[in-house]
Amino acid sequence: MHPILFSESISQDLAQCLSSIPHSQLFVICDENSQKYCLPKVQSLISNEASIFVASPGESNKTLATCEKIWTKMTEAHLDRKALVINIGGGVITDMGGFCSSIYKRGIRFINIPTTLLSQVDASVGGKLGVDFNGLKNHLGVFNEPEAVIIADEFLGTLPLQELRSGFAEIMKHGLIHDAAYFKSLNLQDWENSDWRKLIKHSVEIKKNVVLQDPKEAGLRKILNFGHTIGHAVETFYLDSSQHLLHGEAIAIGMICEGFLSSQMNGMPERDLKLIVDSFIHVYGKVTLPDQDLESIVDLCLQDKKNEGSTLLFSLLSEIGKCEYNIPVIRTQIVQALNFYQNLPH
């Protein structure tokens, strides 16, 4: 497992990190948002000779086309195999930047500086890297560890409230799959004023413990995907539409739907389902999914990476705090779960 540093001074800790990793060149990957709001905090540590690639922000740009531009810039900068890449941004940048680094010249080293709540509690841990392909989320990718991850909660002050709320969904998920007391301790009434440093550390510890037991997602690590089979399908379907959803907003829908499946198929008590529904509706509200979209959303579930052949395999709760994996679900049951969400009061 790569070193994870919880930073109280990003400039100081990045300086120490760079001094401990010998490198021939620096190459920075960011997007327009992290270039404007985050890069200035570390700009003085990056030599004038360092090349910087600035991507357009958003999931819709997490593609091979963007990767080709990054690899072209790397080649033009004459990066050798001892170069070091700094990925500074949200999960799109750390996923894509790590993927590009892992492929270029069969792999050069990189460090991740996640700047969103979502990337700090989720994408920063575990070495999953990749890009979307043909409209399918994270369809191409590798497992590869960064040299280090530096998590600085000072970046959270640069985020709009909607982005902060998106990351909060993954924090809620960590409690649901592994720590009931953690989930029930979350301040849903005033979530905006949570103790983010405390929550980030606890969530990272939960994910780290799971990943250490199953680095390549052969079994246990699949529980981290609770809510993501349906959630990713919803996110992907609306990615380029006027009803675009952030990752956490789509995963919130997925966790309600997969909570319903947990109660129907995996013995989760009805009181737990009610708590899950009430919690997510309170924080995220209710999104209208047009009836004519549901079959297409189910089709996207067929591409989930946990599936084996034509069998759809879900990670479902037996109770809040306990999750099981490789549970087969059929198409009609996914439709029922989406209809359950549809019929919830606004």
* pLDDT of 147: 96
Task: Specify whether the CB–CB gap between 331 and 298 falls below 8 A.
Answer: yes
Give the confidence band of 176 by pLDDT, cuts at 50, 70, 90: very high
Res 346: pLDDT: 77
What's the sign of the alpha-carbon dihedral 144, 150, 151, 157? negative
Give bridge partners of residue 87 from the DSSP assignment: 29, 112
The pLDDT of residue 179 is above 90:
yes
Q: What is the pLDDT of residues 200-240, one digit of tens each?
A: 999 999 999 999 999 999 999 999 999 999 999 999 999 88
Q: What's the confidence (pLDDT) of residue 3? A: 86
- What is the mean predicted confidence (pLDDT) over 7-26? 93
Residues 6+ apart with CB under 8 A from 318: 262, 266, 267, 268, 324
Q: Are residues 104 and 172 in the same domain?
A: no
Is pLDDT above 80 for 123? no
Average pLDDT over residues 63-69: 98
> Are 249 and 282 in a shared domain?
yes
pLDDT of residue 1: 66
- pTM of the predicted model over 0.85: yes
Do 176 and 111 lie in a common domain?
no
Does one domain contain both 146 and 271?
no
The CATH number covering residue 78 comes to: 3.40.50.1970
Confidence of residue 305 (pLDDT cuts 50, 70, 90): confident
User: Is 314 within 8 Å of 306 (Cβ atoms)?
Assistant: yes
Q: What is the mean pLDDT of the chain?
A: 94
Do residue 85 and residue 179 come from a single domain? no
Domain shared by 56 and 97, yes or no? yes
Whether residue 293 sits in one domain with residue 236: yes
Same domain, 121 and 215: no
Of 157, 188, 210, the position where a domain reaches its end is 157
Contacts for 242 with CB less than 8 Å, ≥ 6 apart: none
Q: What is the pLDDT of residues 162-173, one digit of tens each?
A: 999 999 999 999
Same domain as 245, residue 215: yes
Q: Which CATH number does the domain housing residue 195 bear?
A: 1.20.1090.10
User: Last residue of a domain, which of 130, 157, 184?
Assistant: 157
In a shared domain, residues 207 and 332: yes
User: What pLDDT score does 282 carry?
Assistant: 97
The tally of domains found in the chain comes to: 2
Rounded to whole angstroms, the Cα distance separating 339 from 317 reads 19
Domain final residue, candidates 97, 125, 157: 157
**Tokens standing for residue 110:** 């990189």
176 and 221 in a common domain: yes
Residue 242 sits in the same domain as residue 314: yes
Range of the domain at 178: 166-342
Over residues 37-42, the mean pLDDT reads 92
- Rounded Cα gap, residues 114 and 121, in angstroms: 9
